[in-house]
Amino acid sequence: MNYAKYSRSRREFVFATVFANPFDEIVALLEAMNELGIKPEHECFDLGHVGSLEPLMHKGVLRPPLHVSCVMGVLGGAPPTARNLAAMVDHIPAGGHWGLIGIGIGRGQWGLVASALGLGGSVRVGLEDNFYLPGGKMARSNGELVERAARMTQDAGRQVATVAEARALLKAA
């Protein structure tokens, strides 16, 4: 897939590459992970990436339950909208765990966080992905972003996982 960053002020791509992900390499990596007992995280940037999971499961190189991260906000991947997130989630093989990672979309990340919580997924927030709180104020720390996500989780009627619960969930997935 194309993987890029575009500067609207400069009207140019300031970073652009092609993210190669051929199936023969995916299969080889999954086989090596299986031999070593490593449980992969599947970062899916587009609906086509989600659609690639089932054939790999059918082939036997990808073993359920899965841990899928829907990565949104990367130019070249799925545009970061609630509808696109729902479409990706609808195609994740049953029985696994999924979460949202919103990259570089500023305050727009928080609408996706709310959507992920409403759809039953987990969320990842932090300065690696987004610098801003919902109102547009720059966060001072990862903790400030995590506090907001925790509050949104509780406001959505969900429980924030403890560290032990998160480890158990990801180990099972």
Q: Is 147 a domain residue?
A: yes
Inside any domain, residue 6: no
- Alpha-carbon distance of 39 to 137, in angstroms, equals 37
Report helix angle 142-155 to 108-119, nearest 10: 40
Task: Tokens for 7, please give them.
Answer: 């500067």
Q: Residue 98 belongs to what domain range?
A: 35-172
Q: Judge whether 114 lies within some domain.
A: yes
Structural domain contains residue 20: no
3 state SS of 128: coil
Domain-embedded: residue 39: yes
Q: What is the pLDDT of residue 108?
A: 85
Collect all residues with Cβ–Cβ distance below 8 Å to 124 and sequence separation of at least 6: 69, 99, 100, 101
71, 44 Cβ separation under 8 angstroms: yes
Q: What is the pLDDT of residue 104?
A: 80
Which residues sit opposite 43 in a β-bridge?
69
- CATH code, domain with 126: 3.20.20.70
As given in the structure block, the two tokens for residue 160 are 């924030």
Q: Following DSSP, what letter does each residue of 54-102 receive, concatenated?
A: HHHHHHTSS-SSPEEEEEE--BTB--S-HHHHHHHHHTSPTT-EEEEEE
Question: Which segments in the chain show pLDDT lower than 50?
Answer: none
**Is residue 118 helix, strand or coil?**
helix
Whether 99 maps to a domain, the answer reads yes
- Overall number of domains in the chain: 1
100 is a domain residue = yes
Q: Do the domain assignments include residue 140? A: yes
CA distance linking residue 149 with residue 145, whole number of Å: 6
